[in-house]
Structure formats: structure tokens, C-alpha cells
Amino acid sequence: MRLTPSLLLTALLPLFAGCQLMADKPSDPNIGTTRMQGELSAAGGQLLFKPCSEPRHFVIKDVAGTGILQEAANLADDANDKLFADVRGRLTGSKQANNDGQLEVRRLYRLEPSTRACEDPNFKQLTLRAGGHEPEWDIKASGKGMVLNRVGKEPLPLPFLEEEVPGGGLTLTSEANGQHVELWVAPQRCIDGASGAVRHLRAELRIDGQTLKGCGYYGGARDN
């Protein structure tokens, strides 16, 4: 049977449509990855990741240019050669003589000189945490609201409205208890001025006519 040009075009339309759908379908960078927390240490010229509450060790492979290798080198010193890392990635490879495979890091949430962060009992309930210095302030947000802590003041619990802003950031706004509070966070590498810890969010707290700067990170209750 000989197909005329019009019939041939009609026959190919579903194929073109399928190709178009495949081309337009957005790819989720989180597919196949898991958020993990654990301890970093150096051994044999490699950076190893030990998940919280696990004996296994995985060689860090920075496949997305997160800078984790250089950041870890900058933070580690002779007095504190172990670091806490909060990352998103994928475990691959087979067990070797000195490791249990590789951790392909896709995203770095935080990196800090601490060996007790694995014990944080509130991490899984938090959606966001942010804080800064001079003056000291700290906000913990969850599905139940947020709590603002400031030096010299009582903790202030507040309900809030969350909105996404262009560029991948968020605002948390509250008008309760006679206070107008705004917390703005944007996806940008941020260094804590007191500890040197690395965070993946830059934060601004606007309250009482002041703008206080700091850093932040998503908690375990937020899957992104």
C-alpha cells in the first residue's frame, strides 16, 4: 500500500506529539536521590561520608559541583578533623577495601564542624531554620508555626504565611501578637560568621524596622 503525503503526515503526527511531550516534560533533579545526614572524615586521600547511626563509609563524589570537597578542606583542622554534612545524593558502586561504595552528591544543604548534629531531635519536624549574629537571632519553622528567638527576649511563637518568590526563595510572614515579621530566604551559599558553617540559604529577618542578616537551611520535613 502506498501512502500519500497527507496520509503519511497523519500517520506521523502521534509520533511527533509523543516526541514533543517527552521534550517538554521537566526533569526532577531529586529523582533517584535521598537526603542524608552524617559525618565526614578524610582517609587515604579521600573524603568519606558515614551516615548517622550507621557503620558504613562512602567515598564522596561531587557530581553536581556543590563544592563539598573544598568546603570540607576549609573547615577541617587538626583539632577538629570530623565534620557534619547534610546532603542530597545517590549511593552507588560496590564495596571496596576501605569503603562501602560511593555517595554521588547532588546538593549540599549544610556543612559544619560538629559531631553532635546527628542527635538533633527536632530536625525531622522542621521545615526551615535560620539564624544570624550581632544581634543573635534564630527562627525554627514547622507545620505548627514558627518560633523566633532573640537575645534578651522571650521566645516568640508565631503563625505564618509561606510564599514562594522568584528565583527559588521563600518568604515567611506573620502579623500576629502585634508584630510584623518577615523572613526571606534565597538559595545562595552562606557562611555563618561565628562557626564558619556552610548553609545553602541566605536569610534576612525583618522586624521592628530592622533587617537582620543570616543563613538558613531546609529542615527534614521539607523534601526539596
Which triple of cell numbers denotes residue 104? Answer: 554521588
Q: What pTM was estimated for this model as a whole?
A: 0.84
DSSP string across 195-221: T--EEEEEEEEEETTEEEEEEEEE-TT
Q: Which CATH class is domain 34-119?
A: mainly beta
Q: Where are the beta strands (DSSP E) in 44-180?
A: 46-51, 58-62, 83-92, 102-112, 126-132, 137-142, 145-150, 156-158, 161-165, 169-174
pLDDT surpasses 70 at 4: no
Dihedral sign computed on CA atoms, order 132, 183, 88, 189:
negative
pLDDT band for 17, please (50, 70, 90 cuts). Answer: very low
Cis peptide leading into 135, omega within 30 of 0?
yes
pLDDT surpasses 80 at 30: no
- pLDDT > 70 fraction of the chain, expressed in percent and rounded: 85
Q: What angle do CA 188, 50, 113 make, to 5 degrees?
A: 50
Pairwise CA distance, residues 38 & 115, whole Å: 9
Q: Looking at the DSSP assignment, which residues form a beta bridge with residue 59?
A: 48, 102
Pairwise CA distance, residues 89 & 37, whole Å: 11
pLDDT band for 36, please (50, 70, 90 cuts). Answer: very high
Predicted pLDDT at 178: 78
pLDDT band for 202, please (50, 70, 90 cuts). Answer: very high
Predicted pLDDT at 137: 97
Q: Which CATH architecture has domain 123-218?
A: Beta Barrel (2.40)
* Each residue's pLDDT tens digit, 117-157: 899 999 999 999 999 999 999 999 999 999 999 999 999 99
Domain edges within the chain: 34-119, 123-218
Pairwise CA distance, residues 158 & 145, whole Å: 6
For residues 224 and 33, the answer to whether their CB atoms sit within 8 Å is: no
pLDDT surpasses 90 at 97: no
Q: Check for a shared fold between 34-119 and 123-218.
A: no
Mean pLDDT of the chain: 87
Pairwise CA distance, residues 30 & 160, whole Å: 27
pLDDT surpasses 90 at 31: no
* Each residue's pLDDT tens digit, 73-86: 999 875 566 899 99
